[in-house]
Structure 1
């Protein structure tokens, strides 16, 4: 069992501009906010930070601009001990940003990709050696889809475990799922991928079955307050409850879950144990403001996380 797995994250880096308000404005309406925060984010960077805090040896492939936001994001990753060799700085392109409106402990997010759209297949090719040396590769879809495809292709060439967090959801190119070992949509993303817009447990089973028909090997679906559902070629559909915590900010919950799952799988855990570990990581992450700031350490997961109460949905 690996104690410090080597994980490559290929993904996005954004500066999150978080605005706290009491209400969400209607169209044409102006409301006053309480506070504004500039917080390092981006799905790729969030997952990289979460992995580093859990104890993984993390390399990241991505892009930022040469502006002040880009410098701030690189500094934040470096403080977490994440290697920056795979991150390029693009002249004349703004660093990606995310506008996050935080209201009543929930959020609405608008992403302006900026330099993230300059993460190209050739960048993955240039850093092929990082993937070759890794135990696991973690992908998301805030970067161009051809880059995701290339990263998965190279990873499988070297026999690496690949996890795809298909967010934001979009139709996947034919053959991509054959390169993916674990896919981790939330319920709405699962419905988009499966072409299913209905609701309910029957729909969940049908959607997961459709993912298997498209070539998926393992499907892990987060269900918000209803916990997590997962299934694999050798694992029947199983659900586990979420954990009850005092919620401060849900922005990075999905990224925390994916990092926890990736770390656990890379250390040799079975799917059920990995899903449970990931749920504890996600639960702890929402107790602090800011996606990256809320990512727990392995010690916190093994102490505070073990004391969490399971929240069984009615």
Structure 2
């Protein structure tokens, strides 16, 4: 059984990204594209790319590969420390892709995710227990329903700490997590009427892990059960693209968990990683490195 630092389970796809020269255009107007790429993406795919750049040995699983997406993903990771041998190739499936239009402050994704998740055929893997046994820490996406929960249960069973993103406070995905990053987008969709401070308390009371509420370039709330809420202002950098910043923040938390950073160090490191991601485009071809992160972090 091959040992690896990190096990990642979740969304792995091909992202078609388009960087605009100016702001996202108004309807019936023109927008100039300055750069375009077809590269691996998704919350897990991007996190794997970043963690490999930071020197980690990564095993990832999740989304079924399709005949149009697998060759690109396999080619990209062949010279990186990311093991994709658990991925399943479905030759009857084109593969999952998204299309993202990016300006300096926004990114607008287009895809077929509603169709993907509503399809009777579930095109994602169940986690392999041996992959989890052989890792040190893990990162889990919540999107694959019972299989995401199974991944969390296996991590709990084998005492593997894991980072979670955007899960409800009454789920085992949250309860078992060592670090849980909850985005403003998720809060607005899942708890639109909630008071942010009260919601934060709901989260911290239901886990022994670290809870973080992120809000883009705005204040990060973080803390644990029975402790005062703490705040951190994200690092400011010249922004080229925000695509993948949240996924990079997740990767930064996984790296911090692997290296047993304390809560303050975790938030600073993850924030610096996300800032580094925002200062270049695209992440797969110019990912954050420890040198770049430490330059911001220090």
Q: Which blocks of at least 5 consecutive residues in structure 1 are unaligned? A: 308-314
Distance 1:108 1:32 in 2: 13
Partner in structure 1 of residue 275 of structure 2 = 283
TM-score of the pair, normalised by structure 2: 0.87
- Which of 204, 208, 213 is matched with 1:221 structurally? 213
1:118 matched to 2:110? The reply is: no
1:102 matched to 2:93? The reply is: no
- Which of 168, 179, 184 is matched with 1:182 structurally? 179
Counterparts of 1:56-75 in structure 2, within 5 Å, are 56-75=56-75
TM superposition shift of 1:26:
5.1
Structure 2 vs 1, CA of residues 300 and 112 (structure 1 numbering), >3 Å: closer, same or farther?
Answer: same
Return 145-154 or 60-69, whichever deviates more: 60-69
TM superposition shift of 1:290:
1.8
Structure 2 vs 1, CA of residues 23 and 282 (structure 1 numbering), >3 Å: closer, same or farther?
Answer: closer
Partner in structure 2 of residue 197 of structure 1 = 193
Partner in structure 1 of residue 90 of structure 2 = 90
1:131 matched to 2:132? The reply is: yes
TM superposition shift of 1:295:
2.3
Partner in structure 2 of residue 310 of structure 1 = none
Q: Is the contact between residue 63 and residue 89 of structure 1 (CA under 8 Å) also seen in structure 2? A: no
Distance 2:239 2:99 in 1: 20
Q: Is the contact between residue 286 and residue 294 of structure 1 (CA under 8 Å) also seen in structure 2? A: no
Return 174-183 or 144-153, whichever deviates more: 174-183
Partner of 1:163, secondary structure, is strand
Q: Is the contact between residue 169 and residue 175 of structure 2 (CA under 8 Å) also seen in structure 1? A: no
Return 127-136 or 184-193, whichever deviates more: 184-193
Structure 2 vs 1, CA of residues 64 and 77 (structure 1 numbering), >3 Å: closer, same or farther?
Answer: farther
Q: Which blocks of at least 5 consecutive residues in structure 2 are unaligned? A: none
Distance 2:277 2:161 in 1: 25
TM superposition shift of 1:87:
1.3
Structure 2 vs 1, CA of residues 282 and 174 (structure 1 numbering), >3 Å: closer, same or farther?
Answer: closer
Q: Is the contact between residue 60 and residue 86 of structure 1 (CA under 8 Å) also seen in structure 2? A: yes
Distance 1:277 1:25 in 2: 34
Q: Is the contact between residue 10 and residue 144 of structure 2 (CA under 8 Å) also seen in structure 1? A: no
Partner of 1:269, secondary structure, is coil
Partner of 2:269, secondary structure, is helix
TM-score of the pair, normalised by structure 1: 0.83
How many residues are paired up? 289
**Over residues 152-208 of structure 1, what are the superposed CA-to-partner deviations in whole Å (9 max), with x where a residue is unaligned?**
011100011021112xx7x57744322222210112323444x2435xxxx322111
Structure 2 vs 1, CA of residues 42 and 188 (structure 1 numbering), >3 Å: closer, same or farther?
Answer: closer
Q: Is the contact between residue 101 and residue 109 of structure 2 (CA under 8 Å) also seen in structure 1? A: yes
Partner of 1:288, secondary structure, is coil
Counterparts of 1:163-174 in structure 2, within 5 Å, are 163-166=163-166, 174=171
Partner in structure 1 of residue 151 of structure 2 = 151
Distance 2:227 2:144 in 1: 32
Distance 1:129 1:137 in 2: 13
Distance 1:13 1:111 in 2: 14
**Over residues 131-153 of structure 1, what are the superposed CA-to-partner deviations in whole Å (9 max), with x where a residue is unaligned?**
01111110113x42211101001
**Over residues 85-112 of structure 1, what are the superposed CA-to-partner deviations in whole Å (9 max), with x where a residue is unaligned?**
2211112112211110112442111233
Partner of 2:86, secondary structure, is strand
TM superposition shift of 1:16:
1.1
Q: Is the contact between residue 265 and residue 271 of structure 1 (CA under 8 Å) also seen in structure 2? A: no
Distance 1:239 1:97 in 2: 36
